[in-house]
Amino acid sequence: MNLLIMGLPGAGKGTQAAKIVEKFDVVHISTGDMFRAAIANQTEMGLLAKSYMDRGDLVPDEVTNGIVKERLSQADIREKGFLLDGYPRTIDQAHALDQSLKNIGIELEGVINIEIEPTKLVERLSGRIIHRQTGETFHKVFNPPADGYDEKDYYQREDDKPESVARRLEVNIAQGQPIIEHYRLAGLVHDIEGDQDIEVVFADIEKVLSKLQ
């Protein structure tokens, strides 16, 4: 399957993507994760991306389109299919994606759109913790690690500080609507209620994906 997962920052894209990958064995492509890896490796692209990400702004389209296009051209995509998380984030990125997929002869099959009130998201992002070793995402209150946790084994994302969160929400609300409309016109969008327990959200997604398979 070739899929997008969309939703505002903190909607649960990464959380649900991990479950989708486990169950349906598609390749997870998260542009945010790719930029964070580039930052950790101190590449030139990482340094550039960091200046935008820390503020909560979008990395310029030409950079983002380039890394996605290159990733989509790799062999595992054709074998397994993909789940793009956090891309496209502007209507120009959506057009670039359409063109890239056309060029490689792959068709988009579905868009999972996780819907949730923006007011709920600040709490989600401020409580998010990520395991240093595995990279697995948890939440201090809503989804704590099963055996309790030691603060030093976890970190919080730089852009989860309040100033960046406010900007991320503002940017993504403004840019997101035309993208959803673009895919709605193509009949690809499946709306999922995001303000439910993680397992319930996943059950709703599973129902949609089982029909697409």
Catalytic site positions = 13, 89, 128, 157, 168
Q: Is 138 in the site for ligand AP5 (CB under 6 A)?
A: yes
- For ligand AP5, which is the closer residue by CB, 4 or 79? 4
- For ligand AP5, which is the closer residue by CB, 10 or 110? 10
- Residue 124 binds: one of Mg ion, ligand AP5, none (C-beta under 5 to 8 A by kind): ligand AP5
113, 189 Cβ separation under 8 angstroms: yes
Cis (ω within 30 of 0) for the bond into 118?
Answer: no
Q: Is 14 in the site for Mg ion (CB under 5 A)?
A: yes
The token duo for 45 is: 């692209």
Among left, alpha and beta (phi > 0; psi -120 to 50; other), residue 81 is left
**Which amino acid is located at 82 in the chain?**
F
Look at the block and give the residue holding tokens 């989708």: 20
CA end-to-end span of the chain = 7
Q: Is 31 in the site for ligand AP5 (CB under 6 A)?
A: yes
Q: Which stretch binds Mg ion (CB under 5 A): 7-15, 71-79, 195-203, 205-213?
A: 7-15
Q: Is 7 in the site for Mg ion (CB under 5 A)?
A: no
Cβ atoms within 10 Å, residue 147: 5
The minimum distance between CB 101 and ligand AP5, in angstroms, equals 15
Secondary structure tally for the chain: helices H, strands E: 9, 8
- For ligand AP5, which is the closer residue by CB, 79 or 120? 120
Residues that bind ligand AP5 (CB under 6 A): 7, 9-15, 31-32, 35, 52-53, 56-59, 64, 86-87, 89, 93, 124-125, 127-128, 137-139, 142-143, 159, 168, 197-198, 201
